[in-house]
């Protein structure tokens, strides 16, 4: 005998299938959903369907967009000779938050990861090479995460870009602004010393 | 300029409105949703709508059901002279898991909480009194959580049940089975000593 009605069990299973949501949290979320007014629950379901059907990848940078080309790629005020390569759409958000960078982006949607069977064809590398091949690009900034997989991906792509004879750069490593030397790990400190600049 | 398409921002907001889901997790969940095949995302949306529209409260015990009366209340194999009063549907699940209890339940859908402005009319107390008033009930077991609000709710209801002249009991307090005295808090230990039984 199932203890909850089947449609409720089904909803709990759906929530439990989300990343980082366990069985208990899924129950809590499903109960919460049942406690909402009908129209709010419907709006939630509708938000999923609408986002899923109207959001796709920008044909240029592969970031999420509802149009053929995203706002940044379509903007004439952005410097289209510079491409900043990131692994996820949220990284675009992080860099835009700084209000400093004025070039374009390229979203890989992942990093190379032999352990998870993610190879060069599984992320948007081909699309990046096509953009560079068009000839307008002068610099590619590798901004994948500074972890093993991010580093390996950046290195792999930088080698593929060699033949195009353009500038390929990497984000600087170092102590975070406002941080404390005491809390910096050894690897970061070593990189900060290597990358020291004249005052 | 919004950095994500509006339908994606909307989906992130919906996830962020769930209990215990912050802005970052909401982003992660929304991105995950976009990465699902169309039919899986649709199935998710559908699960919400279906659960919301087909699940309601059992007209007897107020637990979730898709029928007029839930499986436990409809069963002839259960002892309808005993009602176990719990605060949430998940508590029914916990007690059923023990496979020991054979009576019926009553789900309050909350506990009295003056701090959160939850009074007797906001939880299913009236429905419990109506059930008892019908005369078939011989014992009501108070199984609200052993915290301040659960205790107060149990005490409040037990007073309302006085005039019916039936047995009103409370779950036993004590050391959890398989636990260690060392880790038991003072209050639990004291209750365990008070409630000691002959061997």
* Domains recognised in chain B with CATH numbers: 6-54 (1.10.8.420), 75-170 (3.40.1360.10)
B29's CB contacts (< 8 A; 6+ apart) are A18, A19, A21, B15, B21
Q: Which residues of B touch A96 (CB under 8 A)?
A: 3
Interface membership of B96 toward A (CB under 8 Å): yes
Contact (CB<8Å) A38/B52: yes
The helix (H) or strand (E) run that includes residue B32 is: helix B23-35
Average pLDDT, chain B: 89
Provide the whole-model pTM.
0.75
> Partners of B56 in the beta sheet?
B65
Q: What number is the average pLDDT over the span B5-33?
A: 93
Contact B139, B164 (CB under 8 A): no
Interface membership of B16 toward A (CB under 8 Å): no
* Residue pLDDT, tens place only, A11-44: 999 999 999 999 989 999 999 999 899 999 999 9
* Residue pLDDT, tens place only, B61-113: 999 999 999 999 999 999 999 999 999 998 898 888 888 889 999 999 999 99
Query: For residues B64 and B58, what is the distance between their CA atoms, to the nearest angstrom?
Result: 6
Contact (CB<8Å) B4/A38: no
When scoring B2, B6, B7, B64 by the number of chain A Cβ atoms within 10 A, the one with the most, hence best to mutate, is B7
Contact (CB<8Å) B14/A44: yes
Interface membership of B86 toward A (CB under 8 Å): no
Contact (CB<8Å) A7/B90: no
Smallest Cα–Cα separation from A60: which of A140, A146, A116, A130? A130
Interface membership of A74 toward B (CB under 8 Å): no
Q: What number is the average pLDDT over the span B167-181?
A: 82
> Would you call B141 helix, strand, or coil by DSSP?
strand
């Amino acid at each position: 005998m199932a203890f909850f009605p089947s449609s409720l069990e089904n909803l709990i299973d759906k929530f439990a299938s989300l990343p980082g949501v366990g069985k208990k949290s899924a129950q809590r979320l499903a109960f919460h959903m049942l406690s909402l007014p009908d129209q709010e629950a419907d709006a939630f379901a509708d938000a999923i369907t609408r986002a899923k059907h109207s959001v796709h990848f920008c044909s240029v940078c592969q970031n999420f967009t509802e149009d053929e080309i995203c706002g940044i790629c379509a903007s004439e005020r952005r410097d289209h000779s510079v491409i900043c390569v990131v692994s996820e759409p949220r990284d675009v958000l992080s860099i835009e938050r700084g209000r400093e960078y004025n070039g374009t982006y390229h979203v890989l949607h992942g990093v190379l990861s032999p352990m998870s069977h993610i190879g060069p064809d599984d992320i948007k590398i081909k699309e990046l090479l096509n953009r560079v091949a068009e000839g307008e690009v002068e610099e590619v900034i590798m901004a994948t995460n500074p972890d093993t997989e991010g580093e390996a991906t950046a290195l792999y792509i930088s080698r593929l870009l060699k033949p195009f004879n353009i500038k390929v750069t990497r984000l600087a490593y170092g102590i975070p602004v406002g941080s404390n030397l005491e809390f910096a790990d050894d690897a970061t400190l070593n990189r900060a010393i290597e990358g020291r600049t004249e005052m």
